Amino acid sequence: MSHRQTPSEFLNQIRGRPVMVKLNSGVDYRGVLSCLDGYMNIALEQTEEYVNGQLKNKYGDAFIRGNNVLYISIQKRR
């Protein structure tokens, strides 16, 4: 039987790894998770913005306000 993680443990484990952050608006941000706080405010490095699956912009660093986040998932290494 596998060990179940709490959301907090999962988020601590993926810090420094490539992630995809899906917003309530449907926009995706993909980058390296730099840090996050208890309000789910997220800082990403090497960030790319995707709208309808199409790359729209590239940013060095990006800050995403937590109340806009639908979910965070792990991305394969770039």
* CATH code, domain carrying 49: 2.30.30.100
**Mean per-residue pLDDT, 3-26:** 89
Domain holding 51, by residue range, is: 7-74
Asked whether residue 2 is assigned to any structural domain, the reply reads no
Asked whether residue 41 is assigned to any structural domain, the reply reads yes
Give the pairing of strands 18-23 and 54-64: unpaired
pLDDT over 60 at 78, yes or no:
no
Asked whether residue 29 is assigned to any structural domain, the reply reads yes
pLDDT over 80 at 34, yes or no:
yes
Asked whether residue 20 is assigned to any structural domain, the reply reads yes
* H or E element at residue 53: none
Higher-confidence residue: 3 or 73? 73
Asked whether residue 1 is assigned to any structural domain, the reply reads no
As for how many domains the chain has, the answer is 1
pLDDT over 90 at 52, yes or no:
yes
